[in-house]
Chain A
Amino acid sequence: MSTNVEESRKPGLIQRVLIGRNPLRTLLRVVIWIVIIVVIRTYVLLPIRVEGVSMLPTYKEDGINFVNCLAYVAKPPQRGDVVAIRYAGRSVMLCKRIVALPGEQIAFHKGHIEINGETLDEPYVKKPCNWEHAPERLGPNEYYVVGDNRSMDFDQHMQGIADRSKIVGRILL
Chain B
Amino acid sequence: MRVWLVRLVLLGVIAAAGIWAWHWLFPSPEQAIRNELKQVAAAASVAPNEGQLARLANTQKLVGFFSPDVQINVDLPGRASQSFSGRDELQQAALGARSFLGSLKVRFLDVSVIVAPDRQSAEAHLTATATLPGEKLPEVQELRLHFRKVDRAWPIDRVDTVKTLR
Using a CB–CB cutoff of 8 Å, the interface residues on chain A facing chain B are: 51-52, 85-92, 94, 145, 155-156, 158-162, 166
Contacts and interface: CB of A to CB of B under 8 A. Distances in A.
Interface string B105-147: 0000111100000000000011101000000110011110000
Contacts of A89: 109-110, 112, 127
Contacts of A85: 164-165
A91 B77 contact: no
A20 to B, nearest CB: 29
A145 B164 CA distance: 11
Interface on chain B toward A: helix, strand, loop, or mixed SS? strand
B109 A91 contact: yes
Contacts of B142: 87-88
Contacts of B78: 155-156
A158 to B, nearest CB: 7
B2 interface: no
B129 A92 contact: yes
Nearest to B124: A88
Residue with the greatest number of chain B CB neighbours at <10 A, chosen from A91, A92, A162: A92
A144 to B, nearest CB: 9
A160 B137 contact: no
Contact of B164 (A87, A90, A91, A155): A87
B33 to A, nearest CB: 15
Contacts of A158: 77, 165
B110 to A, nearest CB: 2
A51 B78 CA distance: 21
A159 B166 CA distance: 8
A127 to B, nearest CB: 20
Nearest to A144: B165
Which 4 A-B pairs have CB atoms at the shortest separation, nearest pair first? A89-B110, A160-B165, A155-B78, A87-B127
Interface in B59-94: 77-78
Nearest to A162: B165
A94 B164 CA distance: 9
